[in-house]
Structure 1
């Protein structure tokens, strides 16, 4: 909860830098042509927080929980297809880098690090409110397919990587943001939540590294969650 409040504070602080000019009734309308194009492109930069929703199996004495906040970063491409004055379809392929730490009780190694490099392929529907001077709030939602190119075929005990993740996952995404119209481009700040619908843990044992089965057996199911604060340049 604290990390969500922190990210929201960043969004509102950033937005306030533009709001004074945006609310003036006689302000000059910047970069109007972007909303008239049926297709336009851009790029995105952002920071993320990857998290796990862990459901313990109850097998044995081991218990697992997500600990430690490790911010990651996101880069990608923006493509926006105009469907209506207030609606557009967006495809934002990109890469997401992050790390999660699982804390175990009653096992020899108490913390296990899980690194991820996700190829993100989201298809999202964007609803834009009416433009007010040089800003325009919006809502966005949809689904994304993510491919983890960092997922391991084998355990790595030397680096405390004692669980493996599935390679692919499907996410439901929902967010909100504000478009700021600057003289030569449009800048959007966006806060988005993504929830994985699949069990992300690979429950198969690694026969080449025996003795670590308890780390996998301790969890019944693990879902991935990602919070992303993005800056879109269009």
Structure 2
């Protein structure tokens, strides 16, 4: 029993020592880059990134889903950051998003009726709240949440031609809810922040065909966008 107790105490002591060493490693004093960067009231930057957009459909009747062929898109924009306190920032991130999706209607056999391309080049303006943890040496995790509005420069909402002429129409304006997370990395010269964000459309983008019995849109009640961003921010 004494030997067992001794071994348990020794094991606990070793484990505690290793854990203490790990936390000491994280908190060990290092060269702090851009030490006063986050103390500024206003800061500016830009972002580059990629996106993958999808559609979500609400159907009148369950008659088979419309398939969406997703393509990788590109994001670029500017950042304006207002510091509220040590852990909360308000961010405006106006940008341009290039993406396109191809809709596939399984009930048709001919590609001219089966496939519809939906091009979307958005002017995208999110207003986000950024919640950060305490900075650990030269990195700081964060989450963001907020809303956005987008104008589709490629929209054909007012086009008199519809699916009978090969045109799947969508609306000009869209609203979103956005949620994401990332990490701020402080380099010697700038702050670099990779992040992943989910984008969830709130407004209906569907423009119904002129014919109420259209085989493309008659079974659709609503069409909304959803997507994922991978952004790389430089400040």
Flag whether TM exceeds 0.5 (same fold). yes
What is the RMSD of the two structures over their aligned residues, measured on CA atoms?
A: 2.4
| 1:74-89 map, 5 Å | 74-89=75-90
Residues 1:116 and 2:120 are matched in the alignment: yes
| 1:1-234 map, 5 Å | 23=26, 25-58=28-61, 63-107=64-108, 108=110, 109-152=113-156, 153-154=158-159, 155=161, 161-205=166-210, 213-234=214-235
Contact 1:80 1:88 in 2 (8 A): yes
1:102-145 C-alpha deviation (Å, 9 max, x unpaired): 11022342221111011111100000101011100001000001
Higher relative contact order (CA 8 A, sep 6+): 1
Q: CA deviation at 1:197?
A: 0.7
Contact 2:163 2:216 in 1 (8 A): no
Q: 2:5 is matched with which residue?
A: none
Q: Distance in 2 between matches of 1:80 and 1:132?
A: 21
Q: TM-score by structure 2 length?
A: 0.80
Secondary structure of residue in 2 paired with 1:35? helix
Q: Which has the larger radius of gyration?
A: 2
Contact 1:51 1:66 in 2 (8 A): no
1:182-207 C-alpha deviation (Å, 9 max, x unpaired): 001000011001101111111252xx
Q: CA deviation at 1:50?
A: 0.5
Gaps in structure 1 of 5+ consecutive residues: 1-21
Gaps in structure 2 of 5+ consecutive residues: 1-24
Q: TM-score by structure 1 length?
A: 0.81
Q: 1:15 is matched with which residue?
A: none
